Amino acid sequence: MTDQRAGRILLSVQGFNPKKWHELLSAERQVVTEPQGESDPSIDYAVVWKHQPGILATLPNLKAIFSIGAGVDHIFADPKLPDVPIVRVVAGNLTQHMVDYVVWRVLDHQRQGMFYRAEQAKKSWREIAQPASPDVSVGILGLGELGLAAAKALKAIGFDVKGWTRTEKSVDGVETFSGEAGLTPFLNATDILVVLLPHTPATEGIVDYELLSKLRRDNGLGGACLINAGRGKLQKEADILRALDDGTLKEASLDVFETEPLAATSPLWTHPRVFVTPHAAATSDARHLVPLMVEQMDRFERGDPLQHLVDRKAGY
């Protein structure tokens, strides 16, 4: 039985079937998927993923927007966004999934997984260098909730971990760099680059040929590797292909793409040194995230501050 006095939710989702979200939110609150009329006063909260632009600005009593993901670029894509707090996902389950993905891809590049899979297909018994983790430096662009957790897990395995952030950060056992001035020295010391930045005006297209050419190629792995699980709009795919083809980049693991789904015509699908996953590094799971959202709504209604708020000026 839903509490009729508690705030009502607009669930506005595009790009996936929100059935589970609807079912679990409805068990706690009243939920609608469309506002009623041009200016629906009954809606208190919006739970969104790529919502219909302009729709939130029509809700006169909207109190907060809840992102279904950790990233909020899909919310800022709305030019008519109302000035209410935006809450993003910070959840142990999502973080663990991302850590698993990053560790999986880093280990695969370190242990020459792409090379050995190709050799197995040829029944070829040939060994190449697989440097031990302390001899491989992993540089993480973005040491936020996800990047920091990945950094700690990689450090625990033994990797030489570095991180780059917008504001200065100090992390035990991780060499940190920040701002524009810190980017080149960070890249020059990185063998495997992990991208876990948000997509903002400041980060769009940051992973281009120039950036890739600054990575350390003269290393025990036989070249530099790229892992992007942040956002596709951070990368320039033509530059990644050029870098792979001229040896600037050895291998890439890409979970996100400039346009999703990745077009069937993209050469990334069949490139022998590219590993593609369909934006699946850390999928938001309603079973884990709905209770956290509802708890936040309950807290807010008791007069407590919302947590995990987005900084509108920074854009993440």
Residue 233 found at the interface with ligand NDP (CB under 6 A):
no
For residue 279, indicate whether it is catalytic: yes
284 binds ligand OXD (CB under 6 A): yes
Which residue of this chain has its Cβ atom nearest to ligand OXD in the complex? 69
Q: Contact with ligand NDP (CB under 6 A): which of 231, 233, 236, 250?
A: 231
Out of 279, 287, 288, 312, pick the active-site residue: 279
Do 64 and 301 contact (CB within 8 A), yes or no?
no
- DSSP string of 15-81? SS--HHHHHHHHTTS-EESS-SSSS-TT--EEEEESPPTTSGGG-TT--EEEESSS--HHHHT-TT-
| Residue 12, binding choice from ligand NDP, ligand OXD, none, Cβ under 5 to 8 Å by partner class | none
DSSP 195: E
Left (φ > 0), alpha (ψ -120 to 50) or beta: where does 225 sit?
A: beta
* Region from 66-74, 173-181, 219-227, 293-301 binding ligand OXD, contact rule CB under 6 A: 66-74
Tell me which residues in 30-89 interact with ligand NDP (CB under 6 A).
69-71
| CA 176 to centroid of chain Cα atoms | 20
From the list 5, 22, 25, 11, the residue with the least C-alpha distance to 291 is 25
Q: Decide if 308 is catalytic.
A: no
How many chain residues touch ligand OXD (CB under 6 A)?
Answer: 7
| 71 near ligand OXD (CB under 6 A) | yes
Residue of the chain from 48, 89, 99, 289 that contacts ligand OXD (CB under 6 A): 89
Nearer to ligand NDP, 35 or 147 (CB): 147
Q: Please tell me whether residue 35 binds ligand OXD under the rule CB under 6 A.
A: no
- Residue whose CB is less far from ligand NDP, 114 or 197: 197
Which is nearest to 302 in space by CA: 1, 2, 4, 5? Answer: 5
Q: How far is the CB of 283 from ligand OXD (least distance, A)?
A: 6
User: Alpha carbon of 219 to those of 111, 113, 150, 159: distances in Å?
Assistant: 14, 17, 22, 14
How many other C-beta atoms are found inside a 10 Å radius of the C-beta of residue 209? 16
CB-wise, 71 or 163, nearer to ligand OXD? Answer: 71
Strand spans (E) along 142-280? 160-165, 175-178, 192-195, 225-228, 251-254, 274-276
Contact status, residue 64 vs residue 45, Cβ threshold 8 Å = yes
DSSP H or E segment with residue 114: helix 113-121
Contact status: 203 vs ligand OXD (CB under 6 A): no
Amino acid at 173: G
Residues 177-196 that bind ligand NDP (CB under 6 A): 196
In the bound complex, what is the minimum distance in angstroms from residue 256's beta carbon to ligand OXD? 7
Catalytic residue among 231, 273, 302, 312: 231
User: Do the Cβ atoms of 10 and 33 come closer than 8 Å?
Assistant: yes
Determine if 248 is a binding residue for ligand NDP (CB under 6 A). no
- Catalytic residues, by residue number, are 231, 279
Binding site for ligand NDP (CB under 6 A): 69-71, 98, 142-147, 164-167, 169, 196-200, 202-203, 229-231, 255-256, 279, 281-282, 316
The residues that touch ligand OXD, with contacts defined as CB under 6 A, are 69-71, 89, 282-284
